[in-house]
Structure 1
């Protein structure tokens, strides 16, 4: 089968399904997974689909696509470690902070080394991680648990957050765009993140460079509402300049 024919079959699959997996395509077309990955890369370069961890989604589905917590855990892991190192160094003794649920913020939790720190989180994973550390008071928000992202969200979560004022909030995002703001696929989760931002003196977005110029379905806040963005060092210098012009610092890790 020629590459063009194979790629057309991939696009046909995306027309009938919201997402596809490399493994499934390889079995169906009887080729290697590496061949399918090359096909997906070429199709993405032609702007015919968007690659995801282990597969792809159609262009029409990309704003609503939401990778699971498990899918994201191993994705760009070195960048997440570096971002978490920089973020954790910003946490000082005596700080009160919010740690949003997510794989990058979980890495921050693993690296917190300080005394008399209060952490508010809507993440069961972060709460479990911090429970092993001394000198940290943990406040778990409660709320409805979203199985896909392992985040507690909703009115109960927001009502707890409203009772506090914190020094810093570390927030994850699926999309970062000057025009469209900080975005995430799920509306309810976006509202919970918005509540976290509203009650923090300093708002720090933690997102690797792949999130820039991506736009998801639900807006969390405009870019100008955040204090800074910590991202991976492979981000384009021109992007850093564009954000600096609107008063948003980008810290590379």
Structure 2
């Protein structure tokens, strides 16, 4: 059996040659269990040497291009769960909240079990399905065209409904956080809907793992000064955090 160093060298070599790998291929080639392969991939991702994807790994940043939500959810999944649990503290009893689209905010929906009634407004079908039968939660699903990659609605119908609403806290997922360019997402129609949601929320909270920093997506949502909180993981660059907090944004690092 290969040592951990030999396995990691082999994985990185194969990635350099092919650009991507799948877990069954690595299991056969290294003669180890799937659990071992997944641990190896996570360790290498933590060192920023590759990106985990659904069923394997890639050399390409999965946030640089638009990918299906069921593929993104396997990227930094542990960090997303910790971020979501930290975000729960910002929800008050009898609150009305909005949950946007994306895998990190979806983890918030999965972790949400309020003791008193709250209203959740969302464009994300996965969020609505997760919460629709949950005790003490009323769900308002925004209508409109469903975007296939994110399983979320966007467009004029969804934006029209928002004109009649207001909410306490918006939990937003993004694809990029850039000090100069602000918050971005890969889909332009969803960027427009996010802008509308920000305008009617009293508090805006961005849930984003550390890989989203210093990156840009296609559609700009807003400047950093327009949000109140960012909740991220402990791998975030401390210098970046300091610069963001100078803009008046509170950065919370989930432990």
TM-score (norm 2): 0.79
2:105 maps to: 105
Query: Deviation at 1:23?
Result: 3.9
Corresponding position: 1:136 with 2:137: yes
Post-superposition CA distance 1:192-246 (Å, at most 9, x none): 1111111101110000011000111110111111111010122122121111111
1:212 maps to: 213
1:72 maps to: 72
Give the Cα–Cα distance (whole angstroms) in 2 for the partners of residues 237 and 9 of structure 1.
Answer: 34
Give the Cα–Cα distance (whole angstroms) in 1 for the partners of residues 81 and 167 of structure 2.
Answer: 24
Is the CA contact 1:92–1:114 (under 8 Å) kept in the aligned structure 2?
A: no
Query: Deviation at 1:143?
Result: 0.9
CA change 1:62–1:250 in 2 (3 A) is closer
Q: Cα RMSD between the aligned structures?
A: 3.1
Once the two structures are superposed, the pairs formed by residues 216-231 of structure 1 within 5 Å of their partners are 216-231=217-232
**Mean Cα displacement is larger for which, 116-125 or 105-114?**
105-114
Does the residue aligned with 2:134 lie in a helix, a strand or coil? Answer: coil
2:125 maps to: 124
Give the Cα–Cα distance (whole angstroms) in 2 for the partners of residues 98 and 128 of structure 1.
Answer: 15
Give the Cα–Cα distance (whole angstroms) in 1 for the partners of residues 51 and 73 of structure 2.
Answer: 16
Is the CA contact 1:131–1:138 (under 8 Å) kept in the aligned structure 2?
A: yes
Is the CA contact 2:124–2:152 (under 8 Å) kept in the aligned structure 1?
A: yes
Query: Deviation at 1:51?
Result: 4.7
Once the two structures are superposed, the pairs formed by residues 163-178 of structure 1 within 5 Å of their partners are 163-178=164-179
Does the residue aligned with 2:189 lie in a helix, a strand or coil? Answer: helix
1:203 maps to: 204
Post-superposition CA distance 1:90-131 (Å, at most 9, x none): 111111110002211121112222312111001111111112
Does the residue aligned with 2:121 lie in a helix, a strand or coil? Answer: strand
Corresponding position: 1:245 with 2:246: yes
Does the residue aligned with 1:120 lie in a helix, a strand or coil? Answer: strand
Runs of 4 or more, structure 1, over 2 Å off, are 5-10, 20-24, 50-59
Give the Cα–Cα distance (whole angstroms) in 1 for the partners of residues 14 and 135 of structure 2.
Answer: 56
Q: List gaps (5 residues or longer) in structure 2.
A: 1-9, 31-36
Aligned residues: 231
CA change 1:72–1:7 in 2 (3 A) is closer
Give the Cα–Cα distance (whole angstroms) in 1 for the partners of residues 127 and 63 of structure 2.
Answer: 28
1:82 maps to: 82
Give the Cα–Cα distance (whole angstroms) in 1 for the partners of residues 91 and 141 of structure 2.
Answer: 19
Post-superposition CA distance 1:47-98 (Å, at most 9, x none): xxx8563454769x974x1121011112111111111111112111111110
1:94 maps to: 94
Give the Cα–Cα distance (whole angstroms) in 2 for the partners of residues 76 and 8 of structure 1.
Answer: 21
Give the Cα–Cα distance (whole angstroms) in 2 for the partners of residues 186 and 51 of structure 1.
Answer: 21
